[in-house]
Structure 1
């Protein structure tokens, strides 16, 4: 097997996801010999372990890795949760979850000062399944800015509460913080967990798999940890759920009109149109609190018009290469990505001419162009009337200064 492993190492180096069948065919074609697929599969595992590390052994090195992480990044917050095994006399500990917030991202978050935070989770894909919980905001250039993340067993009330409590302690949130959180819709998760890890001192091994049904507990967790926090659903995920029963652009456009309505009368008018088209869709939407998906019902506290959780989706997309790796390799993959992102943003900012970021400059120019099309009429000393033609419609508004 050692010969086969050495043979396929270059292939795995260039293409880690190459199928076993392709590796087998390349070896047979090159050496004109028959090779059993099982042997190639084992050789691929050995090559992957050599490149990325062994899944079980890395849990034995996790404590030392986290100590070095904090030493190299002073001010970073790292929390590990373990539990004793069944034998009270044993020094064995079971790994449960780990939370990480780097000092640099914490400082950046506090400098941005935005009270709007996206929350999401994505599945691990290795032999020990779990969830990566993430918190992301948008920076001044409307680009994603990861704040903190955690590796936990699943998206349940208990583990979301733990993650949010870690986030509150790390970022110095008061209990009555006026924050607005956005996430996907709640869902029921059915999964097979064999991600319980046992350690002798800090050496972890896997135990038997168990089938469990979890109910996602993000919203109850927010209510427990942040008493005055507001919560929004990602409109795109509501739309995806809606499309399972109500397909077509007609229903989509009516829903987006109601979600984007900026006043209660406009919202009620859009909902009446939905009711006339399909009363069951109207009833289905009314089951979702309007304050969590319609602009007309937002309090305005967040000072932000975002209705999508794309920032978390974008971050999760960057973690695809980490989700099937051993625990330390996974954590290092995330750290390196966040480091590269900070460096790239810093280089971009150093090249900016002017006080605004590139996206902010573009937005201001678009507003100036739109404003140049307005016709303004003075009504009195403090009131002005303007007309604007957009999408073939004429609208008259009053501005009170």
Structure 2
């Protein structure tokens, strides 16, 4: 701040004046935050007025007077209609922290469009990501999307207990997948050899139990304990081999939610209404951009899906199919054999049934019969479906001064929730991760005890002194000539010098008194 003021205002401000200026800025920021909380009821009415069919739920803390904000849920009508118009019944759930003056966390629900891109459905501001808040969020979301008992639905999340309990309560028949990237991050803490990484992901992406067992056996050859540890979380939650068919989604991770959190990173610095409005406007612009992009496509299948399909077409060159004279085929792929039924759109590797896209084995059989793949791809990946999803656009809002007035007592800002321990400014690094590059390394430095002057420990772990503070003379430790020691050139402080002089003077005085007595 001092340098900025000097460069921009040509003034040499004192440190005390800069601190007072900073306090004024922080106070103005917090006051603006409190002012936006008082406009939340009007913001709720404006959303419901401008976007019919939307769901906006705003709760206050029970039993507090004056009323205090607790949480808000937003699911705009156009997003609800667009999801039900063409998106698969696959929802990703995740949460993220705010970066600025707003207290709490943002939790969201995301779908997948026909091009396998994120489609925001609903988001909510809560005070903390716990069982109560996820239970409340899933209750409203399941009603908005007509989830029912969850039959045929897929939910993807990390291993957050609040999400697990909420999905089990409100969609008990749904398939709940855990992000394999989080599973791998926990597993990697104990098995961090780079050689293990690809073998783990072969287990996660194996589409059938035969390929899963084979991949796990290959992992056991290099780490038997690691092959046993991956079964601590049942593979039905993170491996394709146990996923249910019919969802047309083979994803084993929750990367779309991570992408959404990064996409709204700038909005997470703002005040609560500014943040919610920034997210809404970004979604509105995104829908417009997707409509523009789709009008330029001249294919039947979305380009992102075609790019993925081209990889399978190249791999089908290594598949050799023979026909039984009907719609059944036997395919040899390297050292494995699979069977495919074109009329049923099934392959014994299960990937076709999982994703809705022909696997390399099925493509080899299709090319044996015809050169057209379009009829064997699920309709959820078509450009027509993509346009149906984005045919529903968000409606613009008026300015804050034009919002309808609400008769309810305005809400106040919630209090700051202090987490235990000192506030963290950086993310926690894993044990195997290297240290931050900008931090000086302590490797090679010598720790010297301030009590006994020995090296290798400090005064808190020194065992050469008793509890009363008396010392015993210790021989000076001779350093090992084979050990590389970095000696410090720092001169002794003046305080230490004065202490040594005082001790020497006391010794001389005692010796003089002894001579006089004798």
- Report the TM-score when normalising by structure 1: 0.78
Residue of structure 2 equivalent to 1:209: none
Residue number among 88, 91, 102 corresponding to 1:117 in the alignment: 91
Question: Matches of residues 265-304 of structure 1 in structure 2 within 5 Å?
Answer: 265-304=210-249
Give the secondary structure class of the aligned counterpart of 2:34.
Answer: helix
Residue number among 334, 338, 342 corresponding to 1:397 in the alignment: 338
Q: Please identify which structure carries the higher strand content.
A: 1
Residue of structure 2 equivalent to 1:41: 22
Residue number among 58, 69, 72 corresponding to 2:50 in the alignment: 72
Once the two structures are TM-superposed, the CA of residue 39 in structure 1 deviates from its matched residue by: 3.4
Kept in 2, the 8 Å contact 1:81–1:97? The answer is yes
Matched, 1:173 2:118: no
Residue number among 104, 107, 126 corresponding to 1:130 in the alignment: 104
Kept in 2, the 8 Å contact 1:101–1:148? The answer is yes
Kept in 1, the 8 Å contact 2:329–2:341? The answer is yes
Residue of structure 1 equivalent to 2:385: none
Kept in 2, the 8 Å contact 1:386–1:398? The answer is yes
Gapped runs of 5+ residues in structure 1? 1-20, 187-215
Instruction: Supply the distance in 1 between the matched residues of 2:341 and 2:243 (Cα, whole angstroms).
Output: 22
Give the secondary structure class of the aligned counterpart of 1:120.
Answer: strand
Residue deviations 1:167-221 (CA, integer Å, cap 9, x gap): 01112221343211011123xxxxxxxxxxxxxxxxxxxxxxxxxxxxx411111
Residue number among 256, 266, 291 corresponding to 1:346 in the alignment: 291
Question: Matches of residues 2-401 of structure 1 in structure 2 within 5 Å?
Answer: 21=1, 24-30=2-8, 31-36=10-15, 37-42=18-23, 44-45=25-26, 54-86=32-64, 90=65, 92-186=66-160, 216-371=161-316, 374-388=319-333, 393=334, 395-401=336-342
Give the secondary structure class of the aligned counterpart of 1:136.
Answer: strand
CA 1:298–1:218: 2 relative to 1, 3 Å: same
Instruction: Supply the distance in 2 between the matched residues of 1:164 and 1:357 (Cα, whole angstroms).
Output: 31
Once the two structures are TM-superposed, the CA of residue 44 in structure 1 deviates from its matched residue by: 4.4
Higher mean displacement: 37-46 or 142-151: 37-46
Once the two structures are TM-superposed, the CA of residue 117 in structure 1 deviates from its matched residue by: 0.8
CA 1:312–1:71: 2 relative to 1, 3 Å: same
Gapped runs of 5+ residues in structure 2? 343-518
Instruction: Supply the distance in 1 between the matched residues of 2:329 and 2:297 (Cα, whole angstroms).
Output: 36
Superposed CA RMSD: 2.4
Once the two structures are TM-superposed, the CA of residue 368 in structure 1 deviates from its matched residue by: 4.5
**Higher-RCO chain (CA-CA 8 Å, sequence separation at least 6):** 2
Kept in 1, the 8 Å contact 2:101–2:270? The answer is no
Once the two structures are TM-superposed, the CA of residue 380 in structure 1 deviates from its matched residue by: 4.0
Higher mean displacement: 141-150 or 166-175: 166-175
Once the two structures are TM-superposed, the CA of residue 394 in structure 1 deviates from its matched residue by: 5.5
Instruction: Supply the distance in 2 between the matched residues of 1:237 and 1:101 (Cα, whole angstroms).
Output: 28
Kept in 1, the 8 Å contact 2:48–2:55? The answer is yes
Once the two structures are TM-superposed, the CA of residue 131 in structure 1 deviates from its matched residue by: 1.4
Instruction: Supply the distance in 1 between the matched residues of 2:294 and 2:341 (Cα, whole angstroms).
Output: 37
